[in-house]
Structure 1
Amino acid sequence: MDQELHVFVTVVEKANFSHAAEVLHITQPAVSRYIKNLESKMNAKLLERNNKMVQMTKAGEIVYHHAKEILSLYEKMNVLVADLMSQPSGKLSIGASYTFGEYILPHIIATIRAEFPQINPSIMIGNTREIVHQVASRHIDVGIIEGKMTDEHVAMERFSVDSLVVVVSAGHPLAQKEVVSFSDLEDETWIVREQGSGTREATEQMFADHRFTPGSVMEFGSTQIIKESVEAGLGVSFLSTWTIRKELALGTLKVLDLPGFPVQRQFTLVTQDTEFQTKAMEVFLRVLKQG
C-alpha cells in the first residue's frame, strides 16, 4: 500500500493527476488506478476532480494526514536499517527556538561537520510551540526549546542551563548606576518577544516573580531587532547572555545589576517518542550534551 499512499500524497500536493504522473514518472492512467485501488481499500471516496483541480474529501484529508506520517516512518525505517552498516551520514533535520538556534546551534553543527562531513543537517528556527509541533508531527527529527511545554507525543529532556539578564544601551542613564531596582524601571519601555516564544514566557514569569507591571511594552518577533532597538535607546529588555556576547564585547549594551539576577532557565531537548535513532542523531545528541 505504500506506493498507493505515495501516489495519493503526490496527487494531493500537485492538485493534478497529470502533474503527479510527471513527477512519479508513470502514466496518468496508472495514477488513476492507484487512487482507485486506495479508495477501494478505504471504502471511501478520497478525491473530487473537476476540469483543472483535484480536491480532497473529508475522508481524503484523514488519509492524507496519516499517509504523510506513514511514509515518513517507512522512509525512516529504511534509513535506520541501512544506517546499521555505515558511518554516521545522511540528513538530520533540527528545529530550535531562537536563542539556541541562532546563537548556539551553529557552533554545534560546525563541530559535527568537522568530524562527520557526511552528516547533512538542516535547521528550522521557530518559537517553542512551533518546534514541539514539528517534532510531534515528525516533520523534523529533533528540537531544542527554551520554554516550558508538555506534549504526550514527544520525549523531553532538560540538558543545559541558560542565564537571562536585563539590558540597556551603553548610553542609558541606568547603565552608569552600580545597583538598580525595579522602581528604577517603572517608567521604561520593555521590548519583548512575541507570544509563544520561550524568552517571552521567561520575561512574563520574571515580571510575575517580582510583582512588576511594565508601564509600556513593545513586542518584536526577532531577538536581533530587540537588541538593535535597545542599542538605539528605545527601551530595556530581558535577554539570554548567549544572545548579547558580541554587544557586551563591543560595549554597546550594558547588563543592569539587579538583585536576584541573572535568572536561570533550562534548555530542553525534544525528540520523537521512539527507541531507534540514526547514527547521525546519536552523534548530534552526544555533541549537544557534551556542550
Structure 2
Amino acid sequence: MRLSLRQLQIFLAIAESGSTTAAADLIALSQSATSSALIELESMLDARLFDRLGKRLKINDNGRLLLPQARQMLDAASTIEKQFAPGGLESGAGLHIGASTTIGIYLLPKMLSAFGLKQAGAAPSVTIANTSEIATAVINFELDIGLIEGPWHDPDLHVEPWIVDDLIVVAAPSHPLVCDNSQHPISIKALREALWLLREPGSGTREAVEHALVPYLHSINAGGQFSNSEAIKHAAAEGLGLACLSRLVVADFISAGRLVELTTPLPILKRNLFLIHQRHKVLSARLQTFLRFCRERSNQK
C-alpha cells in the first residue's frame, strides 16, 4: 500500500466541504483530480469513506474512523516541515494558540509579550472562543494548544490543571442587595431570588459558576445570557443583575467604583484553568518551550 499525505489532505478537504467540487477549490486541484484521488484512496483501503447523496458526499463510519488518524498524520508532517524549514524554529511560522474568552483577553496578551521576548520572530496565531469551541479545535489538530476555563473530558485530549482563579460575586452599587448588605447579611434566600447574568452554554465560566453556585442555591435565576464576560461586567454595572466572574475580569470596575464585591454566605469560590493539547500530537520544540513557559507562570496572574 502506498498511502500518500496528499490523498489524506484531499480526504479531509472533502470531509470538511461535503463535495469534490468544493474540496477542489480548497486545495487548488481540479474537480476531476480530486474525485480520482478519492476513488484511488477508497480502492486502496477497500472501503467507501463517504455515502453518496446526489452530488453531496456525507462521511460514513469508515470515514469517521480515518478522520482523526488523517488529521494526526498531516499535523505531524506539518510539524516536521516547520522544524526543518530554513531558519528552523526561528522561521516565521509560529504556534496556533487557542484561549477561552477570559484567558484570551486578560491573561494571554501579557504572557505572549513575555514569551515573545525569548522567541523573536515566532509570531503566534491566536483564536479566542468559548471553552467548547477551543477544545474541539484542539482535538481536530486545528490548534496546537488550548488554554481553557473549565475541564474538558475527551479521550483524545491531554488536560492538566494550570492556574487557580478566584470567582467573586459582584453587583452595581445601586443594586438592592448592595444597599441591604450594609444593614443585614445577604441570605441564601436573597441570592436564590436574585437575577444572575450568565455566560452561554459551552462556556467554561458558565460551567464554573453553575458548579460553584447550584449546590447552595439549587437553581440560578437567569436575568440574561451573554457571549462574553466583558458584556456581563457592563450589564452588572448597569444594575441588570448579579454576576459571578473572575476577579481578573472585574478588578478595574471595582477599583473605579462601578461594581461592588458582595460578602455572601457562600464559601470561597475558585476554579482551575487548564492547559490542553491533542494527546496524539507531535510536540514540536517550540510548543514544548511554550508549555514549560505556561507551567512556570502557573502561580502568576
Fold equivalence (TM over 0.5): yes
Q: Secondary structure in 1 aligned to 2:132?
A: helix
Q: Could you state the TM-score of these two structures normalised by the residue count of structure 2? A: 0.79
Equivalent residue for 2:294? Answer: 288
Match of 2:73 in 1: 70
Corresponding residue for residue 182 of structure 1: 188
Contact 2:104–2:128 (8 Å) recurs in 1: yes
Q: Which SS does the other structure have where 1:210 is aligned? A: helix
Q: 1:233 Cα shift? A: 0.9
Which residue of 200, 207, 212 corresponds with 2:206? Answer: 200
Q: How does 1:110-259 map to 2 (within 5 A)?
A: 110-176=113-179, 177-178=181-182, 179-259=185-265
Paired letter, 1:265: R
Cα deviation for residue 202 of structure 1 reads 2.1
Name the CA distance, whole Å, in 1 between partners of 2:215 and 2:13: 51
Distance change >3 Å, CA 129–CA 6, structure 1 → 2: closer
**1:119 aligns to what SS in structure 2?**
coil
Matching of residues 85-100 of structure 1 within 5 Å = 86-87=89-90, 90-100=93-103
Partners of 2:35 and 2:218 in 1: how far apart? Answer: 64
Gaps of 5+ in 2: none
Q: How far does residue 238 in structure 1 lie from its aligned partner after superposition?
A: 0.7
> Are the equivalent residues in 1 in contact too, given 2:152–2:159 (CA < 8 A)?
no
Contact 1:112 1:283 in 2 (8 A): no
Give me the whole-angstrom Cα distance separating, in 2, the residues matched to 1:32 and 1:259. Answer: 65
Structure 2 distance, partners of 1:138, 1:237, is 34
Q: Give yes or no for contact 1:88–1:280 (8 Å, CA) kept in 2.
A: no
What is the rounded CA distance, in whole Å, between the counterparts of 1:188 and 1:162 in structure 2? 24
Paired residues of 2:162 and 2:273 also in contact (CA < 8 A) = yes
* TM-score of the superposed pair, with normalisation by structure 1: 0.82
| Conserved 8 A contact 2:138-2:146 | yes
Residue pair 2:168, 2:246 contacting (<8 A) in 1 also: yes
Instruction: After superposing the two structures, state which structure 1 stretch, 137-146 or 229-238, moved more.
Output: 137-146
> Over aligned residues, Cα RMSD in angstroms?
3.3
- The answer to whether the 8 A contact 2:188-2:265 is kept is no
How many residues are aligned here? Answer: 288
Superposition deviation, residue 18 in structure 1: 9.5
Task: Name 1:20's counterpart in structure 2.
Answer: 24
Show the counterpart of 1:58: 60
Superposed, 1:258-269 pairs within 5 Å as 258-269=264-275
The superposition leaves residues 90-141 of structure 1 with CA deviations (integer Å, 9 ceiling, x where unpaired) of 2211222222122111211222233323222222223333322222222211
Code of the residue aligned with 1:102 in structure 2: it is: I
Identical aligned residues as a percent? 27
Change in CA separation of 1:160 and 1:19 when aligned onto 2, cut-off 3 Å: closer
CA distance in 2, matches of 1:241, 1:22: 43
The offset of 1:240, in angstroms, is: 0.6
How much does 1:287 deviate?
3.0
Identify if the C-alpha distance between structure 1 residues 100 and 42 changes in structure 2 by more than 3 Å, giving closer, same or farther. same
* Distance 1:243-1:274 versus aligned 2 partners, 3 A rule: same
- Look up the match of 1:43: 46
Q: Deviations over 1:55-100 (max 9, x none)?
A: 3563784456643443223222333455995448622112222221
Alignment partners' CA distance in 2, 1:72 and 1:207: 40
